[in-house]
Each structure stands twice: as C-alpha cells, then as structure tokens.
Structure 1
Amino acid sequence: MHAIAPYSLRVFDSSITQKNREDRYHKLDQVMKHDLFELLKQFMLSLQNFALDKENKQAYRVTDLKYDDKRRVAWAWFEVGQYGMKSEIINIKNFQKDFEKGENNADIAKYFVFFFMPKGVNEGMALMHTIRSSGKKTLFFQKFNAFVRAKANRNIMMNPLSYSKTFSQWADAESKEIKVTRFAGASDFAEKVKKLGHVEKEMVIRAPRGRNLGKLKDFYEKGSNQAEVVEVLSEIGKKVTTTVEMNGVTRTFTVGSSSSSTLCEIALDEEKVKVVEGVPDFSDLFDWSFSIVKDFSATMYKKYTLAELV
C-alpha cells in the first residue's frame, strides 16, 4: 500500500555552453546566488496554511516540517485532499453511509516527503511517498518550480531516479520472495470470499530454503527468466514486487506494475515503520528514508565519502 518513489532534483543553466551536458547544471547551493535547499525550506514554510489548486480542485499544505541544516535534509507531511464532487463515505463493516462529503469538502491524506541537497553537487534527491502507487509529486513539483522560478528565474527538474543510479548498491542482492498484489486469479473463490468484506488478493512465490529467486538486477534484464516471469505476473495482478536481502538488510522493490509509470518504487518496510490506522509513523519514516538516501548516496556521489554528505 505504502511506498517511496525516489526522484532527482536539478537546475539546468541554459547560459552555460559546455559540451558535456552534465557540466550545464547549477550546483545546488549556487542557483543564481540562491541556495536551492534554502529555497525549499522557504517554500514549505510558506505552505503552513491550506492553499487551493483550483484547476485540479485540490487543497494542500505542509505540516510537521523538519530540517537539518548541517546534513542539508528536510522532511515533512504534504497533506492533500480532493474537492469539487459530492460523494458518500460508507462504513465497510456494514456498507452503510457514515458521512456525506459535499462539493466543498476535501478528504485530506498525508504524504511523506524527504529531500537531500548536498553542497557542491548538481543533483539532489527527493523521496516522495505513494499510496497504492498514487502520489502527489506533480502537485508539489509544479508549486515548488513556480516558487523557484519567481525567486531565481530558473526551472527545476524533478525526474525519477534511474535504476542504474539507485540500485547499483543492491544489484547483486538476492531475491527471497516475489509478490503479486490484487492477484486476478482464482476468481470463483475470490467472489465467494468477497462477500465477507474487502479482499486484497495476493500471490506469493518464495525461494526454497537456502536458495534464491535470482538477483535484483536480473528482474530488469530484458530476456532474463526473472523479467519474463514479471511480464506474465503483471498481466494477472496490479503490482509485482520482489523482496531482496543483502548483508542481513532487506528491501522490497516494485518490478512490475500495470498502473504506475514510476521508474523506481520501494515498498514500505513495516518491520521498521509502524503503521497506525493506515498512516505510517512520521519518525519511523524519517529513519527509514534516511537509510535509503545513504544507500543511494554511495552511488550518486562517488567522489565524496558518506561522512562528508550525511
């Protein structure tokens, strides 16, 4: 249900004429005499009260904003709700109407956001929370980009991090499990069980004791047995994930999805992040997200030691 999608943050400088495109991005702390990390903090502080995106009929604000200037990380809840259409809210225990949502009511959901912007480099990281593969990255990006453009006359770029950048530390991690959520098989049985309430059907494939289902990189290698299995499973389920293990640490990655175009998605580790009434714990989310940033930093910022960055 809950996952983190990693994105890169960059600012292109069209005035630089270097042939190498990598040399044509602003360093994060030198964006037209502005520091992008400071602009981010200013932007999120400006959203302590609800604002409206009238075009898309969304209400949004930032709450519980925290930041660490030394490590140049910031994290918060990005609260967003949709309004504009009358609807009913039912109790799934008895299927009776509990509330009526009016046209001017917005049901607010919490989305965790985490940012890391080291000094002296031209690429930062953003981890954006998704719920059932749906997030609010586009809304956040559009509003933040408009803020930066007004301050520094530059546009930011916020694109999904590629697997080559994010997963190299985990490329050889061994897969212990493949899971298909919202599995469409066994429909007759599912219809009977559904009468008892909501059913989130899953199919799980586990490696035999002492063995594995391949390495993480195998799932993204075209023509591999693992990639072919993912292709088949994607046709009969909503999402395909694999849980891998390396040095006693596990991570769950999305390897196939029929509904999301996100290039990279890391499923929430509920052994490390408590979930209360469907909402992940804020403090646990920070600790878990920071561990993910450490993994990525070893690949993205190779000329720096981890201590210099975080």
Structure 2
Amino acid sequence: MTNSETRPLLQWSAAMAMSGTIGAVVLESGAAAPAVAFARCFVGGTLLVLWCLARGWLPAWRPSKRDLGLAVLGGLFLVGNWVLLFASYALSSISVSTVVYHTQPLILVGLAAAFLGEKVAKSHLVRAAIAFGGVTLISLSAHGEDGKPVQLAGIGLALGAAVLYAGASFVAKQLKHIRPHLLAAVQTTVGAVLLAPVLLVTPLPTAPRELLWLVLLGTVHTALMYVLMYASIGKLPTTTVALLSYLYPVVAVLVDVAFYGHRPTWPEALGMLAVLAAALSPQRGGQSAKNAQVSRATDPCGTRTPARRS
C-alpha cells in the first residue's frame, strides 16, 4: 500500500474512532444536551471558519439566496440532530443510542425516494425491515448500567436524531457544489447563534474540568474530525469507507462496556448486529465494489463529502 493510500485510510479510521468516543465526552461534561450542542457549534464552528479563512475559501464564497437558505435549513437539522442524540445518551446508553442512530442511511434513502423521486430497490426495503426489526429487539431487551430496561424515550430520541440527520444530509445533496468544509462552517455557526438563547435555561458548566470536555468536543471531535474526514473520504473506495465506518458504533459500544458498565444482553447484541449489518453494508450496484468510488457521499456529521479526484 502506497503512502497516498495509507494516509487517507488512517485519517478516515481516526475520524471514525473519534466519533465513537463522542458519547463519553458528552456524558463526562455533565452539561445538558442543548448546552453541549452549543459548545460544539461555537468551538468547532469558530475553528472551521478560521480554517476556511486561512484557505481562502470563505472570502471567495458568493452564495445565492437559495444556497444560503438551504445551508441554514441544513444547519437547523444538523444541530437539532445533535441535541436529540446527546439527550438520548442519558436515557438509554451510549451504545444503544449510537446503534439506533445508525438507521439514518436507510431513512435518507426514503427521503430521497419521497422528495426526489429516486427509486428504492427491493434490497433496500429488506435492509430497512431488518434494521428496524433490530431496533425493536433492542427496545425490548436492552438494559442500562443500573440493570433496568433502557427508557424508550432514549431510543425515540436517537431515532428522532437519525431522522434529522437524514434531513441534513438530504439538504446537503442539494448543495453538492459547495465545498464541504465551508458548508460545515456555515451550519455550525448557524447552530451557535440558534442555541445561544438556550443557555439562559441550560447554562454551560462552570467547573474547569467540565468545560475542558466541551472544548475537547469542539476542537477534536468537531473541527479536527471534519478536516480528517474531508481530507480522506473522497480518496477511498466506497467499500473501504463502509467497512471502516463500523469503527464508529464498535468503538462506542466498547467505550460503553469498558467505562460505563453496559452489558448487552444476547437479544440486544443480536439487534445491534442487525441494525449495523443492514444500515452500514455497502450498496450493490452496477459498478463493481472493487472499482466503486465515493462521488457524492455524506458523512456522519450530516454534511456532504467531496467527490473523489482522479
């Protein structure tokens, strides 16, 4: 494997592993979900804006009213998705919420069929049935760290987050011509402005340790993670991206088991495997898996990734 192949592979793997530790960072911060989302938007968005300024992308951007409106709408979906997902961690568990959240690729296909007229293959319907059957199995069998069944509200919030994520990705499909770093900077800025008034009700923590967790979320798990993803995904085959994307939920489950005492039951584990197998398996299409390329994919943060350049 050449250096040109190894570097994007390591970058994407690192980004997915970082994603898997987001739940732990959110819980350790001790802050309410809206405050955590604000911190992520403010810190991460500021760094992304500075990155875009340094690269000269922001000064050269001249968006139309349509593009700006869609970018703002996508930002609303993206931030709402974070709030719901972060809130779900405390009501279920990191692993349960993360796995249920990964139904979003299937929801996105449904949105594309409903609003763009894209055809839905029978195989997708089968995968959707398997995934949501897995969610049902998780809902009936999962237990929290106290040994009690997880709250269905937590699973509902994770599903709601998946719907909003799919909405953000759907909007991003209409903005394929905008550089993804720039779109992410705009959307996180929108999120910071939108969530700032919420701090009157759910303020940021005052303890230095808790604030450091939020700074970590904004710097490492947002700005750095976005840069790593966008620098790598367009250079990797679709099958490689799909395979390494499993690092996100797998790391989340391992963190939950190792540090928060979560012990999945066998039915719960089976449900998790069903969701991940159905939602993250690469699509079979006319192009061979070996030669498949990422052309207009979406990333785990809900924004568009760049086309692969030859």
TM-score normalised per structure 1: 0.23
Answer with 1 or 2: which has the greater Rg: 1
Structure with greater helix share of residues: 2
TM-score normalised per structure 2: 0.23
Structure with greater strand share of residues: 1
Q: Which has the higher contact order (CA 8 A, sep 6+)?
A: 2
